[in-house]
Structure 1
Amino acid sequence: MKYIWINPVTANMYDPNALNAFLSKHGYTRVEASAHWLETVKEKYKQAVDTAEHTLIDMRCPKIIDFIDAYDLRDSVTIPSIEPILIHCGREISKREDLLGYEKVITTPCQALADLGNSLNLKETLFLPWNQFLASFGDGLTAVPPEESPIPPGFFDGLDCKMTSVTEKQNICDFFENFKPEEFDLVELLYCRDGCHNGDGI
C-alpha cells in the first residue's frame, strides 16, 4: 500500500475523479491533511509581525531566501522560522499512526518545496515535484491549468499591519533594489507570478 498527498496547485489542474482513478491505477491511495494548517500558519505570522524587530519577510516560498542573501538583507529584515503550509501537511501525514510502515509521497508544485521537505528526513515520506511523479509512470493525465492560482497573493489580508505583496522574480528584484524596510511591517513574496501555480514542478 502506498499513500499520496496532492498539493492544491496540482489538484486544481485535474478532474477529481480522473485524478483519483489515475492514482489508484498506479497503486496509490490519496490522503488528506487537516484543514486547519492554513489558519495555523496565518496565526503564526500574525504573532511574528507583532514581535518582529524588523520588516517580517514571508517565507512560505523557499526560493525567497535566495533574494534575501543576494541583497544582503539578513540583518535588516526578520526571517521567521515558520514552515510553509505544505511542510506542515507533510509532517502531519508522516506521523499518522494509520500510515506507519507505508510509503508516503507528498507532491509539490516546485523543486524548492520538495528539497525543503526532503531535507527534514521524515520517516517513510518523500517530497516529490508533481511532474517527476507523473513522468515516473510514462503516462499522464489531461491537465486543465486554472486561470487563476489556487494560492494567490493576499494570504495576509486582514492582518492589521503595513503590508505589500510582490510576485515573480523580476518584480521581487525590482522591489529589493529600492527596499525601504521602515515602510512595511510584512512583505508577502511569491516567486511564481500571480501566486503559487507555475512552479518548475508543474
Structure 2
Amino acid sequence: MKYIWINPVTRNMYDPDALQKFLSSHDYITVEASSHWLETVKEKYKHAVETAERTLIDMRCPKIIDFIDAYELRDQVTIPDIEPILIHCARELSEREPLWGYEKIITTPCRALADLGNSLKLPDTTFIPWNQFLASLGDRLPVIPPKESPIPPGFFDELDCRKISFTEKENICDLFENFTPDAYHLIELLYCKDGCHNGDGICDCK
C-alpha cells in the first residue's frame, strides 16, 4: 500500500472527487493528519512572542533563514524552534502505527518545504513538491484556480502584539536591508507573493 497526504494548497486546486479518483487510479490511499496542528503552531508562536527578548521571525517558510543569514541578523532577532504546520502533520503520520512500514508521500507547495522535510529522514516518508509528484506519474488532472489561498498572509492577526507582514523576495530584502531591531514583536514572512499558493511546487501546467 502507498499512502499520500495532500497539502491544503494543492487540495484547494481541484474538485475533491476528481482528486480522490485520480490518486486512487495510481494506487495511492489518501490520509489525513489531525486538524489541531494549525492552532497548535499558532499557540507556540503566541508563547514565543511573549517570551522573546528580540523581534520574533516567522519561520513557517524555510527560505526565510537564508535571508537572515545573508543579512547577518541572527544576533538581532529571535528565531523560534517551531516547525511549519506541514512538518507537524508529517511527523504525526510517520509515527501513526497502522502506517508503519508503508510508503508515505507528503506533497508540498514548494521545494523548500520538501527539502526541509526530507532532511528530517522520517521513517518511510518522502516529501515531494506537487508538480514533481505529477511529473513522476506522467499524468495530470484539470486544475480549478483557487479564488483564495488557504495559506495567505495574516496567520498572526489574532495575536495581540506589534506585528507586520511581508511576502515576496523584493519586499523581504527591503525589510532586512533597512532592519530596525525591536520595531516589532513579530514579523510574518512568506517568500512567495501573497502566500504559499504561489509556491514553485504547485503548478502542474508546465
TM-score (norm 2): 0.96
Tell me which residue corresponds to 1:4: 4
Tell me which residue corresponds to 1:83: 83
Moved more, 164-173 or 141-150: 141-150
Tell me which residue corresponds to 2:93: 93
Tell me which residue corresponds to 2:182: 182
Tell me which residue corresponds to 2:127: 127
Q: Which amino acid aligns with 1:94?
A: S
Deviation at 1:160, TM superposition (A): 1.2
Look up the SS of the partner of 2:62 in the other structure: coil
Q: Which runs of 5+ in 1 are unaligned?
A: none
Q: CA RMSD for the aligned pairs?
A: 0.7
Pairwise mapping of residues 62-81 of structure 1 onto structure 2 (< 5 A)?
Answer: 62-81=62-81
Q: Does 1:169 align with 2:157?
A: no
Look up the SS of the partner of 1:181 in the other structure: coil
Tell me which residue corresponds to 2:137: 137
Deviation at 1:149, TM superposition (A): 1.4
TM-score (norm 1): 0.98
Deviation at 1:17, TM superposition (A): 0.5
Q: Deviations over 1:122-163 (max 9, x none)?
A: 000000110011011111011122132110111011111100
Look up the SS of the partner of 2:56 in the other structure: strand
Aligned length in residues: 202
Moved more, 134-143 or 75-84: 134-143
Tell me which residue corresponds to 1:198: 198
Tell me which residue corresponds to 1:54: 54
Q: Deviations over 1:55-82 (max 9, x none)?
A: 0000000000011011110000000010
Question: Runs (4+) of structure 1 moved beyond 6 Å?
Answer: none
Look up the SS of the partner of 1:3 in the other structure: strand
CA distance in 2, matches of 1:185, 1:156: 11
CA distance in 2, matches of 1:139, 1:152: 28
Q: Which runs of 5+ in 2 are unaligned?
A: none
Tell me which residue corresponds to 2:154: 154
CA distance in 2, matches of 1:130, 1:166: 25
